[in-house]
Chains A and B, each alone.
Chain A
Amino acid sequence: MTLITILGFILIVIGIWGMLSQSNIIKIIIGFSIVDTGIHLVMVSIGYLKDRTAPILDETVGKAEALARVVDPVPSALVLTAIVIGLAVTALMLAYAVKLHEMKGSLDIHDLKELKW
């Protein structure tokens, strides 16, 4: 496990802790973003292979030697998609926060207990 991976997991834990300990909805959303970032770090670190170059085939990296010289491109591609999706979800959460604030006049998640049991 590389340092980056560990860092990623630490971020995930911090984010989850934030989601659990903060009652302000905006802070919860920030916590969620931190978790997201942590996951992205973990994903990238999985694909990274030490001392290898970017997976771009050009004069320096020929087709034949590519397999031995480049990092795994798939996780990077996945991360890009995950970032886009994370962005959409975060935006939607923030939209929710705005609407909730408009209706309720409060951003405290403890106030959202209309439905229970």
Chain B
Amino acid sequence: MVNPIYLFVIALAAGFLLSLIDKAGRSAALTVFYAALAAMAGISAQAFIAILGGAESAMIFTAGFKPPFSINLQMGLEESFFTMIVNVLGLLSGIYLVKKLKTEKVYALVLYLMMIMGLNGLIMTRDLFNLFVFLEITSIATYSLIGIERNIRSLSAGFKYMIAGGLASMFFLIGTIYLYRFTGVLHLDSMAEALDLASGPAVVLAVFTLLISVLIELKPFPANGWALDVYEAADDGLVAVIASASSAAMLFVLYKITPLLNGTLLLAVAGIGLTTFVLSNLMGLMQHSPKRLLGYSSIGQIGLIMGVYALLVHSGAASEPMTLLLVAGGLFINHFIAKAGLFWLAGLVGKDSLEGWHVLRKKPVLVFMFGVFILALVGLPPFPGFFAKWQLVMVFSEKGLTLATVLVLLGSFLEAAYLFRWLGKVLKTEGEGEVKTSFAQGLPLTLSALALIGLGAGFSLWIPGGSGLKILYLPMLLAAALFLLDFLPAWVKNTLVILLMSLYAWQLLPGLEGYRFLFGIIFLAGGVLLLIPGYAFKGKRRGFYPFAVMMYAGLAALLISESTLQLFAAWEIMTLGSYFLIIRGKRSEPHALSYMLFSIGGAFVMLMGLGLLYGVNGQSLALTSLETLTQSAGVIFLLIMLGFLTKIASMGLHIWLPGAHGEAETDVSPMVSAILLKAGMFGLIVLMSAIRRPMIGNVDITYWMSWLGAITVFLGNLLAIYQEDAKRLLAYSSVGNLGYVLFGLSMMTHMGWLTSIAFALNHFLFKALLFLAIGGVVMRVKTKNMYEMGGLIKRMPVSFISVLIGIIALSGVPPLSGYAGKWLTFNILLEKGWYLQGLVLIIGGLIAFLYCFRLIYAVFLGQLKDNHRRVKEAPLPVLIPQIILMIAIMFFSAYPGLVLHPVGDFLLKYFPQGAISWQNNTALTAYGHWDGLAVLIITGVMFASVFALLLITNRKAQKVGQFNIVYAAERPSRPELTHVGYNFFAHYRKALGIFSRPFAVKFWDGVSEFAHSAADLFRKIYSGNGQTYLVHIILFVVVVYAFVTGG
């Protein structure tokens, strides 16, 4: 190991020489500058590797004295790691800034070196006063670098920073000198030994004063207005260093002074950190300037890291180094890299509005990086933040830190809200413009994105239970490969994905049993089927296939998940993939956001449940541990269930669905509707088969689930009838259909579950069919409004037949598969005796007829529009899966026993009583019997005879030409009024007014409105006045002191 003192020697020597060398030309000076930075990075990296390999920590003492008399610098494992990342970031940001450094005065180079050196010192020194010196070296260099910018924003931000920093230094000095007085030493380790906090309030005050100054440097709420201004105004390359490297060094200082703190002080740090996290992310909601938004996010994340760290120490969890590393370390490194990357990107884009960032889209690689940074910050897999958050919830739950967990998840949710809103704007805003990149700017960005991906993979290995995540490796590799192959034409990628997915399904499916096999068929075989329409898309279809693969990867992994970690990771991967599929639709931006927020919110609630499970059940990650739960089963059930309910869009949690499914592309709508919705149902089955009597107190949750299911059926179907948009009609219909599924499951009987599964399979078949058929129509007529269609039966006969079959299967009339569900539903209603819910359910089922009729009538029957006279049938790739689906519906209708019989046998494992008995193809229950094939034949014969009768009796009927009509003295005022299909069920709306009102939408709008108003209220404290910021700091100190001393 190279003597770490050279870190300082090199920086100082280069600093002094630079002014001289600059006389020989800037390129010479820059060479020395970069050589120095690279050497510093190299020395610390080498030290890290050496110490990791077992080498001794290096100790540097001044003038040959031993501590406590000497100033002592230490290079241990932590120090070497922190100096390494700080120096590497310093080097990268230096490279990023090369253009600026070429033209600035040479002092900029010197100051930059001093800043990085100061950070090294902050990390390495073990002497409290020396810490102060390095703090000031760093600060002065930073102030000066901010001041170099010749604009008023930067200057005024710098000045505010100086005053705040000055105040922080004041506290630091007072704290230091009094600690010296009480302990007689300045050496941190000796001080920790000599310190006795119990000896009096003065000692506590001294420690408090020191701590508060470190905290102020970490930008706690509300004493952080100056930091926000600096983040917004200073140069991006510099801000990357301030936000990531300086914060890293200050966090390390906090880590170093931890031995001086007692429990109360630790709790104060935790409270301050988490409050900052929640509130600054709340205020982030109102930000429109990208850099200020990043500032709020940075402040929040630093708060999160220090809060979580303090709690880990306080609860004793930090005594396990791996826990500290995975949780606090994971959150830290995730933010460190992602935030630097985002600030660098901000410099590249140079736009002052979030929308302006759409210029990134001209360069897919940059969009990819932006996505990586955003997703990492939100804490989604496969990035380190995800694993850190997972482990955090597990550890906190184990230690009983429920409130902290809630705060962490709340803050994360708020952060996800504004980050995903931004991502959506980048992906969807239209406009001109381009980003110019250079190698010097591209290099740091590329390296940081790669580092995040690499570290994500690393964390997935290190985390407890991480070996189970192997099930996601192959599909994720394929997704990664598809990013690289994105330049290929769509049909090549489509073929590749279909082949590989078929192969994967072939390998996976035979190993599954019971309902898992059935869901496997829906997820994977269905997935392959719904990829076929992809051939209808021309060009490259950039960014479609990687995410489609991710979604299916998540779905497949759900099937074979055995641990809660596997389940949750698969769940998030699936959500992520589907988000990027949904947002592809032309007007999908707000709906994709709403989908994502409901999904993330649901996932966080589920995570709480999984954490609780881990905590009460002896730190077991096995899913089977759900079965052996003895305490809190009801609460755990409820939390996990809520997560799944957001995905199946139960009433109240459904508002994302109509837009997300309705605005999606032709082949995406059936994927997310027919397939993805079943993931929530699958999750419910896993959960409910483990906890079969979920009680909270005396309340049986399943009873309320049945009501939720019934209401969902009723309202989902009711809202569907009012839609003018054909795809939204189908989307609302999904809400209703999934209500049946929920209702069936909530029965908690053999037949209830069988009904539910029959509904699920049926919904998969007919909803895929309907969405494909309607999607095909929309592709051709270029509108989704049904009143702009009509008479398309002649132009698109195959699509017509598809819709016809689809709605028959949907409505549940004989002879098609929907009837199986209906028949079973009546059976279970009789069995369970839930007549009231049954009534709601049946009314809901009747309403379904209304929208089914409207769908086929308004689109295919009636008069053909003038401009549709030449439309062609939907493209063949869209038709082929429809034909396959129709065959499948026919088959399932005729032989339901082939599917339901084995599934029923499997369900005996959970519900030994009340099974249906099968005689060949006939199902027998206590209330009757049913033979699918016979029903099919009888209905067919009846239909054929009536049809024949009509043909015979109505022989005189004549064809009416399209214009052979008369307007009966009616003059339509608007074009859509010429269509009878417009506002088709207006009278129902009048009659059922109260039920048709969008209560859920209003409620969630209100929640969002409230959050934004609160955010606006809070952020007003940052008045921009430097003196106000000082007042904030002083008030902050007073309040925290009052808390610490309990007065």
Contact = CB atoms under 8 A, between A and B. Distances in A.
B1024 A116 contact: yes
A96 B153 contact: no
Given A19-B1027, A32-B166, 7 more contacts: A19-B1030, A28-B1026, A74-B186, A82-B173, A92-B143, A103-B150, A114-B156
Given A35-B170, A85-B133, A117-B286, A93 B159 contact: yes
21 contacts: A12-B170, A35-B170, A46-B178, A46-B180, A75-B177, A78-B176, A81-B133, A82-B132, A85-B140, A89-B136, A92-B140, A95-B147, A96-B155, A103-B150, A103-B152, A110-B1025, A112-B159, A112-B1026, A113-B156, A114-B156, A117-B1022
Contact of B1024 (A23, A25, A113): A113
A71 to B, nearest CB: 13
A52 interface: no
Contact of A117 (B157, B158, B1020): B1020
B324 interface: no
Contacts of B228: 115
B1031 interface: yes
Contacts of A39: 170, 173-174
A112 B160 contact: yes
Interface in A36-93: 36, 39, 42-43, 46, 74-75, 78, 81-82, 85, 88-89, 92-93
Contact of A113 (B143, B162, B167, B1025): B1025
A29 to B, nearest CB: 9
Contact of B162 (A85, A96, A110): A96
Contact of A89 (B140, B173, B1020): B140
B144 interface: yes
Contact of A115 (B157, B1019, B1031): B157
Contacts of B589: none
B560 interface: no
A38 to B, nearest CB: 9
B156 A100 contact: yes
A71 B717 CA distance: 87
A109 interface: yes
B233 A20 contact: no
B177 A25 contact: no
A115 B153 contact: yes
Nearest to B156: A112
B298 to A, nearest CB: 15
B363 interface: no
B287 to A, nearest CB: 8
Nearest to A23: B1027
A33 B1022 CA distance: 26
B162 A92 contact: yes
B951 interface: no
Contacts of B169: 85, 89
B153 A114 contact: yes
Interface residues of B, number: 50
B129 interface: yes
Contacts of B1031: 20
B438 interface: no
Contacts of B140: 85, 88-89, 92
Interface of A: 12, 16, 19-20, 23, 25, 28, 32, 35-36, 39, 42-43, 46, 74-75, 78, 81-82, 85, 88-89, 92-93, 95-97, 99-100, 103-104, 109-110, 112-117
Contacts of A81: 129, 133
Given A92-B143, A92-B162, A115-B156, A20 B1023 contact: no
Contacts of B177: 42-43, 46, 75, 78
Contacts of B233: 114-115
Contact of A96 (B139, B147, B178, B292): B147
B931 interface: no
Interface in B166-202: 166-167, 169-170, 173-174, 176-178, 180-181, 186
A32 B181 CA distance: 25
Contacts of B899: none
Interface string B1009-1047: 000000000011011111100110010000000000000
Given A112-B1026, A115-B1024, A46 B232 contact: no
Interface in B425-481: none
Contacts of A85: 132-133, 136, 140, 169
Interface centre among B139, B157, B173, B1020 (most CB of A within 10 A): B173
Contact of B180 (A16, A20, A28, A75): A75
B163 interface: yes
A116 B155 contact: no
Interface string B818-837: 00000000000000000000
A88 B169 CA distance: 13
A66 to B, nearest CB: 14
Contacts of B1022: 116-117
Given A43-B173, A43-B177, A115 B159 contact: no
Interface in B497-527: none
B1024 A112 contact: yes
Contact of B166 (A82, A89, A99): A89
Rank and list the top 4 A-B pairs by shortest CB-CB distance, nearest first. Answer: A116-B1024, A113-B1024, A112-B156, A115-B229
Contacts of A46: 177-178, 180-181
A100 B155 contact: yes
A55 to B, nearest CB: 14
Contact of A28 (B136, B163, B174): B163
Nearest to B166: A32
Nearest to B128: A78
B1013 to A, nearest CB: 14
Nearest to B129: A78
Contact of B152 (A25, A28, A104, A117): A104
B129 A113 contact: no
A114 B147 contact: no
A46 B186 CA distance: 14
B65 to A, nearest CB: 13
Contacts of A103: 150-152, 155
Nearest to A8: B174
A92 B155 CA distance: 12
Interface string B633-662: 000000000000000000000000000000
B153 A42 contact: no
A26 to B, nearest CB: 12
B703 to A, nearest CB: 49
Contact of B159 (A19, A23, A25): A25
Nearest to B160: A112
Contacts of B159: 25, 93, 96-97, 100, 109, 112
A35 B165 CA distance: 13
Nearest to A117: B1019
Contacts of B129: 78, 81
Interface string B992-1022: 0000000000000000000000000001101
B1024 A114 contact: yes
B152 A114 contact: yes
A103 B150 CA distance: 9
A73 to B, nearest CB: 11
A20 B1027 contact: yes
Contacts of B1027: 19-20, 23, 28, 109
Contact of B163 (A23, A32, A117): A32
Contact of A16 (B139, B147, B292, B1034): B1034
Given A96-B147, A99-B147, A115-B228, A42 B1030 contact: no
Contacts of A88: 136, 140
Nearest to A100: B155
Nearest to A115: B229
A100 B914 CA distance: 84
A113 B1023 contact: yes
A79 B157 CA distance: 29
B147 A20 contact: no
Contacts of A89: 136, 139-140, 143, 162, 166, 169
